[in-house]
Chain A
C-alpha cells in the first residue's frame, strides 16, 4: 500500500450534488490535512486534524465538511459546491515535524 491514498482521483459533480472525498494513510502519522490547489495560486490549507481532533479550519465555506473518524482516515464531504470550487484537493499526513506526505489528489470539476 502506498503511503497516502486518495479516492476518487477524478470527480465531476453538479452544484446540487453531494459527494465525498476519501483519504487513507498507512504511515502511522497523527496529523492529516486537506489542501486545495488551484491554477496559479499557492496551496491553500483547508483543514488540519491532529489525533482525530480538528485543530484548524482555515475560513473554509461550510459547503466543505471534513470528517476524521480515526487517525488513518480523513473525508471531505462536499455539497452545493460552486464552479469556482473546481480544483485539485490534496490530502496529506505528517509525523509532526512539518514534513508533509501527500496523496495523489482528487481532481474535482463542478459544473
Chain B
C-alpha cells in the first residue's frame, strides 16, 4: 500500500459544479495534512492545510479530514476553468519526523 494515495484522474467537471478530490494515507498516527495545487509547467503552491477531524473552509475550498477512516478530501465549490490543475495531497506521517510525503496527484479539468 502506498503511504499517500490519490486517484490520478483525470477528473473532469463542468464549470460551476463541485469538484471532489480524495486522498488516503497509510499511517494512522499522522497529524498534519496539506493540499497543494500545481498548474502545468509551474511549481506546487499550498492552498490548504488541516490538522483536526472535520471540515475546514477557505473561500470556495473545503478540506475534510477523517482520521478514523484515514482519508482527507478537498472540495472545490463553483469550479472554474482556472481551477484546472494537478492537486497534490501531502501528509506528515507519524514515522517521518516532520517530512511531507506526497501523493502522485489528481489532475482536475474544469470545462466551460
Chain A contacts to B: CB under 8 angstroms: 40-43, 45, 48, 56, 90, 96, 98-105
Contact = CB atoms under 8 A, between A and B. Distances in A.
Interface string B70-112: 0000000000000000001010100000111111110000000
Interface residues of B, number: 22
Contact of A56 (B45, B90, B99): B99
B92 A98 contact: yes
Chain B at the A interface: mostly helix, strand, loop or mixed? strand
B34 A98 contact: yes
Given A96-B98, A98-B49, 5 more contacts: A41-B104, A42-B102, A90-B44, A101-B46, A102-B45
B1 interface: no
B62 interface: no
Interface string B34-68: 10100000111110010000000000000000000
Interface of B: 4, 8, 32, 34, 36, 42-46, 49, 88, 90, 92, 98-105
